[in-house]
Amino acid sequence: MTGVIKKTWDPWKMYDVSLKERKAMEERALMREKLKGEWQKKVTDPYKGTGGYIFDPQMQRFYSMRVTGFNYFKVSFKSVMVGLNFVVVPIAVFTYLIYKEREGQERKIRNGEIMYKDRHNKLI
């Protein structure tokens, strides 16, 4: 039995899907294959000429969504919280930590706990 791998699960046999759903899945798979073949044919055509592009409606919808996304944005409690948590809070926390560190460093320098030769920011 060297080199023989026995499958225990066959992905092409699904018993929990109705006949109608199965037929719809097969039609969608066939449609995807046709679209892929058409795209590959257009992309690899040596006589398509120079310049230009192949119009892809899916990419056009994506680019249009990116451009007009701000027009459809609605302010909500969730969007405000996301903005605060990902922009304002990190900046405030980082600023506070830097302030406390520098304040402690300044206190140690003024009390003479750190010698001049051991200071990190001598020239600032």
Q: How confident is the model at residue 103 (pLDDT cuts 50, 70, 90)?
A: very high
d(CA 102, CA 55): 57
Average pLDDT of span 85-101:
96
pLDDT single digits (tens) 5-60:
666 666 667 677 788 988 998 999 999 999 999 889 888 888 876 666 778 888 99
Which stretches of the chain are DSSP H helices? 19-43, 57-68, 77-83, 89-111
Map out the domains of the chain as residue ranges. Answer: 14-45+52-73, 75-123
The whole-angstrom separation of Cα 19 and Cα 93 is 58
Task: Note the pLDDT tens digit of each residue in 51-60.
Answer: 667 788 889 9
